[in-house]
Structure 1
C-alpha cells in the first residue's frame, strides 16, 4: 500500500529504498520544492534566487549553477527524463508478463541480483553512489514485480 503524507509519497519498499528513490527524483517528489503539507503555507520563503553560501559549481563540468533556481530547473528537467524512462521500462516489464505461465513465475531473484550487480557497476562508471542506485532499483523492481504479478494473474494483455 502507498501512503501520502502532505505531498510526500511514502513508498511500500522500506525506509531506505523510499528515501533513495526520493533522493534520485529530487524536488519533484516534494511538489516543486515545497515540503509543507498540502493546504498550508510554506515553512520558508521560496529559494529560487538564493545564491550559494559556499563552494563553486560542480554540476555540468562546473558551469552550473549560480542560483538554487537553476539547480531546481535542472533537477526538474532530469526528473522529466527519468519518468519517461521509467514508463518505457515499465512497458517492457508488463510485456514480460506474457512470457510467464503464472504469477509465481514472475519473481526471479537470480535475475534481480544480476540486474543489481550490473547497475552497481554502471553507477561506479558514472560516478553515482552505488548504494543509492541499488536502493532505487530495488524499489523500482519491487513495484513493477507486483504490477507484473497482477497482470499475470489476470491473464491481461499489457
Structure 2
C-alpha cells in the first residue's frame, strides 16, 4: 500500500484562500479597453481562450471597477496581451484613479472605435456576446473580429502578487 501524500491542513474556502491559491498561479497579463464618452481600460489576469470556432475569449471584470459601467454597455472591447517591457503600463491600468490614456501611454482608435494600445505583443478587437454574473464580477465572453498577433517580445506574467517575466 502506498502512503498518501501530505496534503497539508485544509482551510475553509473563502476570499483569503482563493487569493492565496491564485497568488501561486502564474497568469498572462492583458489590458482590456473600451470606448464610452472616453476611453476606459483595466489590467486583467483572467484572460482566457474559450473557443476557436467561433473565436471566443473571456475575462473577468469587477462590478466596482471604474471601467465596468462602460464595459457593461460596450458592443466591442479591445484585448491587449502585454510584453515584459510593459510593467509600467500594466501598473497604470491596474491603479485606481490613474490617467490611463495620458502620456506615456501610446494608443490609437482601432476597429469599431475601440482604443488600441501601441507596442503590445498582440491585440484583438472583440464583439461582446455575453456578460455572465459571477459574484462581485462579470465574466465577459467576446468574439474576435479583428486583431494583430505580430508584436515582438516575451509575455508579461503576474505571479505572487507582482508583475514578472519568464526566466530561461
**Whose radius of gyration is greater, 1 or 2?**
1
Using structure 1 for the length normalisation, give the TM-score: 0.23
Q: Which has the higher helix share?
A: 1
